[in-house]
Amino acid sequence: MRPHVLKLRARFVIFVLAGVGLVSLAMAALTFFESQEALIESRQEQLFELAQGEAAELGRRLIRVSQATEALANSLEVLPTPTPENLDQLIKRYISSTRRIYGIAVAYAPHAYETDRKLFSPYFHRSPKGIVASCVDSEDYNYPRHDWFLLPTLLGKSLWTEPYFGTGGGIVMATYCTPLIQDGKIKGAVVSDISLQELGRDVDNLSVGRFGYAFLISRQGSFLAAPNPKLVMRETIFSLAEEMQRPDLRLLGQRMIRGGAGVERVKDWHMKEYVWLAFAPVHEVGWSLGVLVPEREVLAPAYALAQRQAIAAAAGLLGLGLVIWLLVMGLTRPLQRVAGAAKRLASGDLSAKVEDVRPGDEVGDLAQSFNTMVDDLNSYVHELTATTAAKERIESELDLARQIQMSILPRTYPAFPEHEGFDLFAKTHPAREVGGDFYDFFFVEGDRLVFVVGDVSGKGVPAALFMTVSRTLIKNAAAHHPDPVEALEEVNAQILPENEMCMFVTVFYGLYEPGTGRLFYASAGHPSPLLRRADGQVEQIPTTGGMAIGVFDKMGLTRGEIVMQPDETLLVFTDGLDEAVNAANQQYGQARAKSWLASTEVTDAPVMIDRLVQEQRAFTGDLEQFDDLTLLVFRRKE
């Protein structure tokens, strides 16, 4: 079934709109990310300024409380000991003058107010009925044991206490206490309470965006104000961190109670989403104020801008698509006529021509070129018919030449069944239809085995013809020259005078005596074979000098000799083995051939050759074979 393919006009519109859309999307994304960074940076500055400003304002309120408390203490220090009635009036006046003070107590040390009166501590606080008195000097409330009295009287300095539940007012409060000194002696303490409920309402009323909020923690990390009332004076920021397994929250709490200030992105423990948190210290009491706003609220303007840009881009793309469609319709009608003529031509109608297309523009030029192509195609078809017939004839002849070439090389295994003292086989793999590599093995003088491997320069038909001549001459020379050097020199003398093409052939010539295991050999420019000993060691047999056949009159050949022991194997090869390369342009090399020969299992010669070819093909991969490859394996048996 033919797959559905979009028309050119549709593809053109889609591609143009896709390109414009991608550019618009990239610009929108860039704008979004830049606006996102700008919004985050601006919001960080706003939050930090808000946290610092509100912390400073909270500090100023607490300073007014501490100033009023110290003013009352100073008044009592310079005035004579007041009567209870005068002291009550003085306390009420100071409570009335400072709105943030919830209650004030003047606590005298035991027997300091009157010698016969152990405790005396009038306390007044605000209530719905006005400023009322509470008793804090009964036996049930032994105030000299409480921190708000002990700390200023023992340390001799003013300070804020940790928040606590006050028994006098029944509310959560914090106390500013200062020592009362008369005649150079500490007579007691003047303390002022502030209501944390009222303070919490002030913190809750901070305007921190639409979904943001503020919170306040003490020097110990306890929540003094929070959107969740269950946290106030019941949880610390550290207990939340442990409960939620939030090391980052623990580190944040440590920075806050140490008086640090900054802005961080954290996951909120209340809204369970990422927020931007700014915090600043309230230096006067050692508390820390935090204000935060959800990240989604910070980025809401960026998302709104992106949405507006998306709507505008969609509308623009729709209009652009309509314009492009009308333009493409006018351009593609002539192309349809060209396409129709091309279909007729594809169906075999060589008379198909493009009609009714106005010349002068690109489409007109295309139609004219098409008509010219049809004329040229008719001429080409006639020429191709004749060329194809000639090519088929040449391919048939090359295939026949390959068969003939392979047929003249020994292919029977075992080559000499009557000789059980050795195993011998060879195989060639031409790089083209016919090749220039060859091999041969035969007996001379009755019982002496000759095996030859040759490699003609070049490839194809010329190399194949030169190979046939060289093989024939070597076999004839071996019949009346028992010495390998003499045989190769005679072949060189016969080839050199008629070698107008300057071709040459490298040859390894071996003469083996089955009775003694001696191998006499000569190498006319050919790689030295590899010899595997019976113990698995592999080495290259000693190299003999000499030039290739067909180059110079004087070849400089010398004869080599080795004695092959039982179970020793000789591998003779052409350069198509070691010079083969892989995709990384690395050569297979003789080192890999040696490693393979040392590690492979010694078995029948054809099997070993096939395994070596597979090993080389695995190394070269899918690369096309670039040179002829010939392998000969000779093994002396026990």
Q: How confident is the model at residue 402 (pLDDT cuts 50, 70, 90)?
A: low
How would you classify the pairing of strands 213-217 and 185-195?
unpaired
Please give the structure tokens belonging to residue 77: 């220090």
What are phi and psi for residue 423, nearest 5 degrees? -120, 130
For residues 631 and 579, the answer to whether their CB atoms sit within 8 Å is no
Looking up tokens 């047929």 gives 407
Q: Name the helix (H) or strand (E) containing 474.
A: helix 460-480
Could you give the C-alpha distances from 139 to 187, 226, 560, in angstroms and in order? 20, 36, 126
Give me 465's structure tokens.
């013809």
CA distance 632 to 519: 15
The residues, ordered by sequence, that sit 6+ positions from 141 with a Cβ below 8 Å of its Cβ are 135, 167
Q: What is the mean pLDDT of residues 560-570?
A: 94
534 within 8 A of 565, measured Cβ to Cβ: yes
Q: Whole-angstrom Cα distance, residue 432 to residue 624?
A: 10
| Higher pLDDT among residues 75 and 323, named by residue | 75
With a cut of 80, say whether residue 575 has pLDDT above it: yes
Beta-carbon contacts of 61 under 8 Å, excluding residues fewer than 6 positions away, are 100
What is the DSSP pairing of strand 538-540 with strand 262-267?
A: unpaired
Task: Tell me which residue has tokens 């593809």.
Answer: 11
* 8 Å CB contact between 278 and 263: yes
Phi, psi of 133 (to 5 degrees): -95, 150
Pairwise CA distance, residues 415 & 424, whole Å: 7
Tokens of 61: 């309120």
Contact 193, 103 (CB under 8 A): yes
Task: Give Dmax (Cα) for the chain.
Answer: 153
Peptide bond into 527 cis (omega under 30): no
If you ran DSSP here, which 8-state letter would residue 600 be given? Answer: S
Q: How, if at all, do strands 448-456 and 505-512 pair? A: antiparallel
Q: How many CB atoms lie within 10 A of CB 346?
A: 9
Round to whole Å and give the CA distance between 64 and 430: 106
Yes or no: say if 257 and 222 are a contact pair by the CB < 8 Å rule: no
Of 326-330, 409-413, 594-598, where does the model show the most confidence? Answer: 594-598
* C-alpha distance across the termini of the chain, in Å: 67
Can you read off the two tokens belonging to residue 532? Answer: 């595997």
Which residues touch 582 (CB under 8 Å, ≥6 apart)? 588, 619, 620, 621, 623
Give the residue-averaged pLDDT of 364-389.
68
Model confidence at 63: pLDDT above 70 = yes
pLDDT tens across 199-227, in order?
878 887 777 778 888 889 999 999 888 88
Q: Are 599 and 386 in contact (CB under 8 A)?
A: no
Please check whether residue 313 is in contact with residue 24, taking contact to mean a CB–CB distance below 8 angstroms: yes
Q: Which residues pair with 449 in a beta bridge?
A: 443, 512
Q: Which residues pair with 214 in a beta bridge?
A: 291
Mind spelling out the 3-state secondary structure of 219-281? CCCEEEECCCHHHCCCCEHHHHHHHHCCHHHHHHHHHHHCCCCEEEEEECCCCCCEEEEEEEE
Confidence of residue 45 (pLDDT cuts 50, 70, 90): confident
Q: Report the distance separating Cα 508 and Cα 528, nearest Å.
A: 8
Q: Residue 6 above 70 pLDDT?
A: no
Go through the domains of the chain in sequence order and give each one's CATH number: 1-337 (3.30.450.20), 408-636 (3.60.40.10)
Burial 353-387 (b: 16+ CB within 10 A, else e): ebeebeeeeebeeebeebbeebeeeeeeeeeeeee
Residue labelled with tokens 């010495």: 483
Residues 6+ apart with CB under 8 A from 67: none
Geometric angle at alpha carbon 576, from 571 and 578, rounded to 5°:
65
Residues 267/274, Cβ–Cβ less than 8 Å: yes
| pLDDT tier, 321 (very low <50, low <70, confident <90, very high otherwise) | confident
Mention every residue, 6+ apart, whose C-beta is less than 8 A from residue 524: 488, 492, 505, 506, 507, 508, 509, 546, 547, 548, 549, 555, 557
User: What does the buried/exposed string (b/e) look like for 548-573 if buried means 16 or more CB atoms within 10 Å of the residue's CB?
Assistant: bbbbeeebebebbebebeeebbbbbb
Q: What radius of gyration, in Å, describes the C-alpha atoms of the chain? A: 54
pLDDT tens per residue, range 475-524: 898 888 889 999 999 999 888 887 777 788 999 999 999 989 999 999 99
Bigger pLDDT: 32 or 286?
Answer: 286
- Eight-state DSSP code of residue 117: B
Per-residue pLDDT band at 299 (split at 50, 70, 90): confident
pTM: 0.47
Residues pairing with 423 in the sheet: 635
Encoded tokens for 126 = 């605000």
Question: How many angstroms separate the CA atoms of 226 and 246, rounded?
Answer: 19
Categorise residue 111: left if φ over 0, alpha if ψ from -120 to 50, beta otherwise: left
**Predicted local confidence at residue 469, as pLDDT:** 86
d(CA 219, CA 284): 11
Most confident among 16-25, 184-193, 494-503 (mean pLDDT): 184-193
Residue-level pLDDT at 442? 92
The helix (H) or strand (E) run that includes residue 342 is helix 295-346
Neighbours of 308 (CB within 10 A): 11
The per-residue pLDDT for 592 is 93
**105 pLDDT higher than 80:** yes
**What average pLDDT does range 353-382 have in this prediction?**
68
